[in-house]
Amino acid sequence: MKREVSKIGIFIYDCESKLKNVLSISEVCSKLEGLGFVCFESPASHFNEAMSDFEKYLKDNEMLKVVIAGCDSRSKEQIFKNSLKKVGLSPYWVNFVNLNEAIGYKEKKKATEKAINLVTQAAKWIEMQEIIGTQKVLLNQKVLVLGGGIAGIETALTLTEGGLDVILIEETSHLGGGAVAVENLKGLVKSKIEALVNEKKVRVINSSHLVDLDGHVGRFTARVEGEQKLIFEVGAVVVATGNELILPIQELDESSGSLAIGQKDLENRLSLSKDVPQRVCFLIDLVDEDLKISTQVLLKQALAVKEKFGSDVICLCRDLKVSFDGGEKLYEKAQEAGVLFFKYTKKPKIAFSDEIVKTSLINEDYPHEKLVFESDLLVVNEKIMPGRGSNALAESLSVDLDSKGFFQSDNVKLLPTFSSRRGIFFVGGCRLPQNINETLSEARATAAEIFSFLSKEEIELDLTSAKIDSDKCILCLTCIRTCPHRAIVVDQEEETAKVIPLACQSCGICVSECPVVAIELPLYTNAQIIGQLNDVVGEAG
């Protein structure tokens, strides 16, 4: 094997003599020198010393590629990469070996052999490492926000505060979404809408919706239809389309008529200062019992009804979900005001007759008895459903919905607001029904996330993304189908599949799925991986 002897250095450091006690570093070094590498034994005795020693080593020696071996986890590699960058070397030409692996061997001879093996493997890997090129990428610094509810508005406003332009598309004829109808949010929503319409960096387009999204992060093309057909070039897309409330009719009786209303209806009545009858029964958790928002609304409304109209107020729920800021206090306040609470496990029975609702349940707390409440009005929580257009929108965005039909696929790494595609985000009720503070926080968090990659007009990208050999590609589309990030497209002119470097997250799934071995992942090539499989100690003789 031909080796550029002087160009690959091996830098070994010990950790409080941990290595010296179990293996022979000099033997490791001499063996590697024998294989044609230049070995350097750092006098450093722990990581921080090794770091400064390493920087000195880089200055003193003209190395192209380096293997660093020490008693640390591989995560330390990144820190060494930073030093390589500092002195102007490619950070990709370094490979870290965790010698703790060898320390676990009981015999000194075996531990030394293992260390030789590990370092040689790492050297082989880095020897095969090719140059990682760079590419200048222009970014469109506009952001498309879908949805003019509070989530969309707050995201848009925050984006402008960071200097980005925003196009906000709203399906209906007005801004504000569901929060407009909520008594204690009206003021906040109104001021936000005002700020938005006065903001020069935002263009609001009402009564319109997205029909198609093409391209990728930094360079999306969005087709919008409504009163007019429009096309926009944007760098990122925020989905904030909210959700829909549906009265759980199937849980109630068909004869309920106007005796049973949803929390939203009650909110409207309260804000219009309409009268509320003498006996009001709130019954929640018939549906969506795992959403705390219904309890939050319940407490607020029960208290309002009690205080405004002096009604007899009874609240029935499966669980009193007070896990929101000020929840427990609100509960106490309602109790003090004379609102009564009962919990159930088995769903209560509801009967409607002669303008009266009878609700019967088995009380959970002691005494465990059957209770029957008569009331003039029954208020239930609506079922919160994904927005009506979610399916179609998900399709045009090429993103997945979760098992309930809300945005965001079921994956922990996407939380809180990421999608499977770079540059597309989900905020607020369209991904998870939530309260105002949570929504505002998510909106700002997403804006911050967008600043982090769109605050520059042009970036230099390291090409660590997958590479497709156009000569080998048979355009079977397997890679396009299997790429979880939608980072591969068809290049019609060249008749090949093509990776979009900015959208690619370098997972290598396409590489392993390609039937004609036309794809390589530059930092983990097939040759590099296969090179690790055989026993190098045997080879070295």
Partner 1 sequence: MNSKEVAIIGGGVAGISAAVALTDIGFMVHIIERDVQLGGHATSFACKATDKCSKCLVCVADELVLKASQHPKIRVLTGSEVMSFSGKPGDFELRISQAGGEESLFKESVLKIGAIVIATGFMPFNAEEKKEYGYGKYKNVITASDFERAIRANGAISRPTDGSAPEKITFFQCVGSRDESIGKGYCSKVCCSYALKLSKLVKSEIPESDITIFYMDVQPTGKDFLKLRESCEEMGIKFVRNLPSKIYGYADSDFMRVNNLNNNTGEVVQDEFDLIVLSVGMSPQNDVKFLANTFKVDLDEHNFFKGLKQSTNLSNTPGIFLAGACQGPKDIEESMAHGRAAAAEVVKMLREQ
Partner 2 sequence: MKRDFEPKITAFCCEHSGLPSADMAVESEFVYPEGVNIIKIPCSGKVEAIHIMRALEEGDGVAIFACHKEACQFLRGNLRTEAKVTYISKILREIGIEKERVQMYFLAPSNGVKFARTLRVFYKNLKDLGPNAGRKEL
Residues contributing to the site for partner 2 (CB under 8 A): 73-75, 98, 100-101, 103-106, 110, 114, 409-413, 420, 482, 484-485, 505-509, 511-513, 521, 523-524, 526, 529-530, 532-535, 538
Residue 53 half-sphere exposure toward CB, CA atoms < 13 A = 17
Residue 50 tokens, joined: 């090794």
Which residues have CB under 8 Å from 369's CB, separation 6+?
362, 363
Report what 100 binds from partner 1, partner 2, none; CB cut-off 5-8 Å by kind. partner 2
- Say whether residue 128 binds partner 1 (CB under 8 A): no
Residue 486 tokens, joined: 């939608």
Of 47, 105, 352, 453, the residue at the interface with partner 1 (CB under 8 A) is 453
**Are 407 and 430 spatial neighbours (Cβ–Cβ below 8 Å)?**
yes
Q: How far is the CB of 124 from partner 1 (least distance, A)?
A: 25
Query: Residue 410 or residue 469: which is nearer to partner 1 going by CB?
Result: 410
Report what 417 binds from partner 2, partner 1, none; CB cut-off 5-8 Å by kind. partner 1
Query: Residue 24 or residue 335: which is nearer to partner 1 going by CB?
Result: 335
Measured at the CA of 393, the angle between CA 479 and CA 410, to 5 degrees, comes to 65
Of 319, 400, 491, 513, the residue at the interface with partner 1 (CB under 8 A) is 319
Q: How far is the CB of 500 from partner 1 (least distance, A)?
A: 21
Query: Residue 347 or residue 404: which is nearer to partner 2 going by CB?
Result: 404
Which residues have CB under 8 Å from 541's CB, separation 6+?
none
Query: Residue 159 or residue 521: which is nearer to partner 2 going by CB?
Result: 521
- What is the arrangement of strands in the sheet containing 349-353, beginning at the earlier edge strand? 349-353, 356-362, 370-375
Q: Is the preceding omega at residue 367 within 30 degrees of 0, hence cis?
A: yes
Residue 17 tokens, joined: 């003599």
Contact positions with partner 1 (CB under 8 A) in 295-314: none
What one-character-per-residue DSSP string does 285-337 give?
-SS-TT-THHHHHHHHHHHHHHHHH--EEEEEES-----STTHHHHHHHHHHT
Collapsing DSSP to helix, strand or coil, 494 comes out as: coil
Query: Residue 149 or residue 479: which is nearer to partner 1 going by CB?
Result: 149
Residue listed under structure tokens 């660093």: 68
- Say whether residue 417 binds partner 1 (CB under 8 A): yes
Query: Residue 277 or residue 484: which is nearer to partner 1 going by CB?
Result: 484
Residue numbers at the binding site for partner 1 (CB under 8 A):
75, 78-79, 82, 85, 158, 161-163, 188, 289-292, 319-325, 327-329, 332, 343, 364-368, 402-404, 406, 408, 410-413, 415-417, 431-432, 437-438, 440-449, 451-453, 455
